[in-house]
Amino acid sequence: KNAKMIIDKSFRIAEIDKRIYGSFIEHLGRAVYNGIYQPGHPTADEDGFRRDVLDLVKELKVPLIRYPGGNFVSNYFWEDGVGPVEQRKKRLELAWRSLETNEVGLNEFAKWAKKVDADIMMAVNLGTRGIADACNLLEYCNHPSGTYYSDLRRSHGVEEAYGIKTWCLGNEMDGEWQIGHKTADEYGRLAAETAKAMKLIDSSIEMVSCGSSFAAMPTFPEWEAATLNHTYDFVDYISLHQYYGNTMNDTADYLALTMDMEHFIHTVVSACDYIKAKKRSKKVMNLSFDEWNVWFHSSEADDDTMKNRPWQKAPHLLEDIYTFEDALMVGLMLIMLLKHADRVKVACLAQLVNVIAPIMTEDDGGVWKQTIFYPFLHASLYGRGTALLPVLDTPKHDTIGHCDVTDIESVAVYREEKEEVTIFAVNRNIHEDITLSCDLRSFAGYDILEHIIMEEGDLKTVNAYGRERVLPKNSKESEMDEGILTAKLHKASWNVIRLG
Ligand code: AHR
């Protein structure tokens, strides 16, 4: 089979906001305790942070990390996590039915984020708390000095204000599982008033209003329209969350699910633009896809843990072990985010360590990379610059739930200052190889720097500690001739073709 593509400098989607390579650390399972933080571990640094984890996070070059939740934030009292550690309260953590010791709070997390060179995207509790507490937290974080909360921060040893720029107004407030779940009008009013007050404290911050928890929510997309009706003038982004899984064990249909993701993005953009028109506003509401990933492997075990063995510190929760086909799915989702870089300005791979994560730790051992580590790494390394929309003529196939599924999904990124173009492409046809012929007409003189490929005979192959089998390799099956790139895209493969 053959596919044809044209890539041209002028087929510009948008400048990519580096924050689309954001991620997420929630106080959940072993993300914080025994994940990023494990005093006493052989690699722990002077602050108790695991150096082996720090190194892998740095390798991923994550520019932004959402914190502290997630569902966790909806009953979180941030004051519990600041001040002398020995005086901190232990709490019942209701979202994940765990024990929160508060040994790590915002100052410890900020220290860790600095070590990995990431900014914090801070979430406020709009489940069980409200405007005043969100304002207090912002004053603690961003006000220089001379007020109760800014001086409290200084008394905790943090002289300089953090200047945290991006703030989430609660989390998944449309979900009935959320503590303090609200109707669209209840949430919209609260979010608007909270945003208004927070911007009085610091007008430089940007705020994210909660969109739907996933596209199949019964309240989607009315939730978006109804909440934005209240928040449009006060916020800068609306959030999208979406996880996929091969729950029916039908790989072809699983890999087609990014068609649903695209429909989700289009619908949220439409809801934003509808409210923009309704309000005669000039402001463009952008999207923060602040939770996305594959999540389904661990669900049954998690229900059992939370039901039958609650109130543990750092329980094993949401520890999905990813297959190779999950890595393909993550690659497809990354391509989708890049294809919509004109409106998606923030995105967070949920999550980063141990909890539905690319990085896993052994309690008494080392770290290891899940299969999904690699597509994220490649996109974060080579997917910065201008997103270019390829004109793509690809064979298609049908699956049980989707028609006209493109065999090839692709996007290109032009890094002008380095004179490099990277083509990200997935062949999601699980049966047939495809020869891609790509006209690179506006990139005269460019040659192939490398063609990285990931493929596995068994799509269910997983990695494990000391046994990392799913790895990228170099393909020799691409060539450049007079501005035409010819590349063999093997069935069910992730491809990164770098040209310069
Ligand atoms: O990322 C795991 C959970 O998924 C988050 O806590 C919640 O926001 C979402 O439902």
- Give tens-digit pLDDT for 195-236: 999 999 999 999 999 999 999 999 999 999 999 999 999 999
98: CA distance to ligand 1 center in Å? Answer: 15
The residue with tokens 């609306």 is 238
Atom of ligand 1 at shortest range from CA of 69: 6
Q: Which of 28, 176, 291, 320 to mutate to test the pocket of ligand 1 (most atoms within 8 A of CB)?
A: 291
Q: What gap in Å lies between CA 498 and CA 372, rounded to an integer?
A: 20
| 98-102 CB contacts, 8 Å cutoff, 24+ apart | 98/28, 98/29, 98/310, 98/311, 98/312, 98/313, 98/314, 98/315, 98/317, 99/311, 99/312, 99/313, 100/27, 101/33, 101/313
Q: What gap in Å lies between CA 115 and CA 33, rounded to an integer?
A: 17
Q: What residues line ligand 1, using a CB cutoff of 6 Å?
A: 26, 69-71, 171-172, 213, 291, 350-351
The answer, yes or no, to whether residue 363 has pLDDT greater than 90, is no
195: CA distance to ligand 1 center in Å? Answer: 22
Q: How many residues does the chain have?
A: 500
72: CA distance to ligand 1 center in Å? Answer: 8
Protein residue closest via CA to atom 3 of ligand 1: 70
What pLDDT, in 10s, does the model give residues 87-135? Answer: 999 999 999 999 999 999 999 999 999 999 999 999 999 999 999 999 9
Q: Are 318 and 28 in contact (CB under 8 A)?
A: yes
Atom of ligand 1 at shortest range from CA of 213: 10
What pLDDT, in 10s, does the model give residues 286-320? Answer: 999 999 999 999 999 999 999 999 999 999 999 99
Protein residue closest via CA to atom 5 of ligand 1: 70
Full-prediction pTM beyond 0.90? yes
CA atoms within 13 A on the CB side of 92: 4
Q: Which of these is catalytic: 79, 100, 291, 456?
A: 291
Active site residue 222: no
Q: Which of these is catalytic: 172, 325, 409, 456?
A: 172
Q: What is the pLDDT of residue 73?
A: 98
Label residue 380 exposed, middle or buried (CB < 10 Å: 0-12, 13-18, 19+).
buried
Where residue 454 falls among pLDDT bands split at 50, 70, 90? very high
Q: Are 274 and 227 in contact (CB under 8 A)?
A: no
* Widest pairwise Cα distance in the chain: 69
23: CA distance to ligand 1 center in Å? Answer: 12
Active site residue 456: no
Q: What gap in Å lies between CA 47 and CA 499, rounded to an integer?
A: 42
Atom of ligand 1 at shortest range from CA of 95: 6
Please count the other Cβ atoms lying within 10 Å of the Cβ belonging to residue 363.
10
Q: What mean pLDDT is predicted for residues 313-342?
A: 98
Q: Which of 97, 176, 241, 349 to mutate to test the pocket of ligand 1 (most atoms within 8 A of CB)?
A: 241
The answer, yes or no, to whether residue 365 has pLDDT greater than 90, is no
Cα distances from 453 to residues 19, 56, 472, in angstroms, run: 25, 21, 6
Q: Beta strand pairing status for 493-499 and 484-489? A: unpaired
Cβ contacts of residue 199 below 8 Å, gap of 6+?
Answer: 205, 207, 234
Taking Cα atoms as reference points, which of 390, 434, 262, 247 lies closest to residue 333? 262
Instruction: With H, G, I as helix, E, B as strand and everything else as coil, classify residue 6.
Output: strand
Q: Which of 26, 302, 303 to mutate to test the pocket of ligand 1 (most atoms within 8 A of CB)?
A: 26
Cα distances from 493 to residues 35, 46, 158, 248, in angstroms, run: 30, 42, 48, 21
Radius of gyration of the chain (CA): 23
Q: Are 470 and 462 in contact (CB under 8 A)?
A: yes
The pair of three-digit structure tokens given for residue 8, joined into one six-digit string: 């041209």
- Looking at the predicted complex, does its ipTM rise above 0.95? yes
